[in-house]
Amino acid sequence: MHGLRKSAFGAAPLIGVAVVMSSAAFAQSAPSAAAASPGDPVHGKTLYQACESCHSINENDVGPKHRGVVGRHAASIPDYSYSPALKNSGLTWDEATLNRWLINPSALVPGTKMFFKIDDAQSRADIIAYLKEQK
């Protein structure tokens, strides 16, 4: 399992490149922070697999653990080493801030070390609905 995780992270820069390439087209379609229809947490759990190259619900990994993330202040897991940018962001994670984060973390928090985004509004809503259940 460890090897699998490692290789999944190894592929992350490629994901980053694909994201950059698609972002021009994405910008033209005027990304909006508007929520899609109510999120489906069951589908969100499946989509969350994309986050699991770097995150898990219960353990810090490349990224911080996610249990209880909805409603907590950004960068508040004490034993995770956050970027100064996220530490100083003053954000609280709710549906609106998480949506903006997943549209483009670097746009919301310039200098963050998370480089991953979800272009599809419904997918973002589904993932956020799943995270809301991980209290």
Q: Which of 39, 41, 93, 129 binds ligand HEC (CB under 6 A)?
A: 93
Under rule CB under 6 A, residue 74 binds ligand HEC: yes
Q: Which of 44, 53, 108, 126 binds ligand HEC (CB under 6 A)?
A: 53
Q: In terms of C-beta density within 10 A (0-12 exposed, 13-18 middle, 19 or more buried), how is residue 119 classed?
A: middle
Residue 81 · residue 60 · CB < 8 Å: no
Tell me the H-state helices in 29-94.
Answer: 41-47, 84-87
Number of CB atoms found within 10 A of residue 28's CB: 8
Q: Which of 86, 108, 121, 129 binds ligand HEC (CB under 6 A)?
A: 86
Residue least distant from ligand HEC (Cβ): 51
Which residue is it, tokens 């950059």? Answer: 20
Q: Is 92 helix (H, G, I), strand (E, B) or coil?
A: strand
Minimum CB separation of residue 9 from ligand HEC in Å reads: 7
For ligand HEC, the binding residues (CB under 6 A) are: 12, 50-51, 53-55, 62-64, 69, 74-75, 77, 82-83, 85-86, 93, 98, 101-102, 112-114, 116, 118, 127
